[in-house]
């Protein structure tokens, strides 16, 4: 099995994986240094790090780490009767000590941009300098054909794409279509399908967002969860060109990706009575 070819194939398909590698071994055990196994989020695995209890545990650990896109090094003693500091004891009788490195391979996040206009293009240019997987959706054929840099381009109606159930909980969504009417259609469909993105940002002025919130609360009720909704979009950096707006949005995405606080988000520029998120 060509494990490295599989890694490339999964990366091209935007499928996050955990590569588990035996990096150290002392004493007896069914593990060879350099052996590698890759594990998918659904528990499927390819390759081996030795079999038995250590491989069973490694698969479960890899699935757990994939949820948070985390890489770690762990040590294991293959003897259920012994305890060694900073090592996990596994139910084996070999007696050796093994170190496994769990390496997350995949994007920081999957991002969907609705709208292939100037802001969508500028934002893609910024995001693709980092490890984000970017899909751009636009129903305008003449616009999408000129778009460059995205991992995937989709020439389809905005709501039609959402109805394909490709977007998952925890994904990032940016809405910058050519019309607020379409923006609202996208946001409303996300809410109707009860998708819970990590980030749902809409390019919108403070006046426009107040009108949208009024209609949203009328449609879905005042208890609708909008904690993941960021509009006006971006951090308060200043600047109105597509490139400057793109930097502001990308900075907001980075702050959420790395769970950094203390930045002033544009949505916080609304009056207190307009706030729609929960701290």
> Final residue of a domain: which of 74, 105, 136?
105
List pLDDT tens digits, range 190-213. 999 999 999 999 999 888 898 899
Q: Quick check: is 126 in a domain?
A: yes
Shared domain check, 259 and 216: yes
Instruction: Write out the residue range of the structural domain in which residue 49 sits.
Output: 12-105
CA 256 remoteness from chain centre: 10
Q: With bands split at pLDDT 50, 70 and 90, how would you rate the model's confidence at 73? A: very high
Average pLDDT, the chain: 90
Of 164, 145, 215, 206, whose CA–CA distance to 187 is shortest? 215
E strands present in 139-234: 152-154, 172-175, 199-202, 229-230
> Final residue of a domain: which of 57, 84, 105?
105
Count of domains for the chain: 2
Q: Quick check: is 279 in a domain?
A: no
Q: With bands split at pLDDT 50, 70 and 90, how would you rate the model's confidence at 176? A: very high
The CA distance from 79 to 99, in Å, is 14
48-52, 69-73, 104-108, 245-249: least confidently modelled range: 48-52
Output the pTM of the full model.
0.83
Q: What is the mean pLDDT of residues 15-32?
A: 88
Cα–Cα separations (whole angstroms), residue 30 to 27, 51, 98, 232:
10, 7, 10, 56
> Final residue of a domain: which of 59, 78, 105?
105
List pLDDT tens digits, range 37-47. 999 999 999 99
Q: Quick check: is 4 in a domain?
A: no
Q: What is the mean pLDDT of residues 242-252?
A: 97
Shared domain check, 96 and 122: no
Shared domain check, 90 and 114: no
The CA distance from 51 to 20, in Å, is 13
Q: Quick check: is 56 in a domain?
A: yes
Q: Quick check: is 218 in a domain?
A: yes
Q: Quick check: is 3 in a domain?
A: no
The CA distance from 272 to 172, in Å, is 26
Of 30, 3, 31, 32, whose CA–CA distance to 17 is shortest? 3
Q: Is the pLDDT of residue 36 over 70?
A: yes
What's the CATH number where 263 sits?
3.40.50.720
Shared domain check, 168 and 84: no
């Amino acid at each position: 099995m060509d494990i490295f070819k599989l890694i490339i194939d999964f990366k091209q398909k935007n499928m996050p994986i955990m590569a588990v590698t035996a990096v150290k071994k002392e004493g007896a055990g069914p593990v060879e240094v350099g052996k590698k196994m890759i594990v998918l989020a659904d528990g499927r695995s390819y390759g081996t790090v030795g079999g038995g209890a250590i491989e069973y545990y490694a698969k479960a650990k890899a699935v757990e780490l994939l949820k948070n896109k985390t890489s770690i090094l762990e040590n294991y003693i293959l003897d259920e009767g012994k305890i060694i500091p900073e090592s996990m004891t596994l139910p084996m009788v070999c007696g050796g000590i093994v170190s496994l490195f769990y390496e997350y391979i995949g994007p920081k996040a999957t991002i969907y941009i609705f709208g292939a206009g100037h802001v969508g293009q500028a934002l893609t240019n910024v995001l693709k300098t980092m490890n984000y997987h970017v899909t751009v959706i636009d129903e305008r054929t003449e616009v999408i054909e000129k778009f460059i840099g995205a991992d995937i381009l989709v020439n389809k109606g905005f709501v039609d794409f959402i109805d394909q159930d490709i977007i998952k909980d925890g994904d990032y969504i940016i809405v910058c279509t050519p019309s607020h009417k379409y923006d609202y259609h996208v946001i409303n469909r996300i809410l109707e399908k009860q998708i819970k993105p990590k980030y749902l940002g809409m390019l919108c002025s403070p006046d426009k967002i107040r009108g949208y919130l009024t209609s949203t609360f009328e449609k879905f009720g005042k208890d609708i969860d909008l904690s993941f909704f960021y509009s006006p979009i971006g951090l308060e950096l200043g600047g109105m060109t597509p490139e400057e707006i793109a930097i502001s949005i990308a900075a907001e995405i980075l702050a959420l990706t790395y769970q950094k606080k203390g930045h002033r988000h544009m949505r916080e520029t609304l009056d207190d009575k307009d706030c729609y998120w929960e701290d």
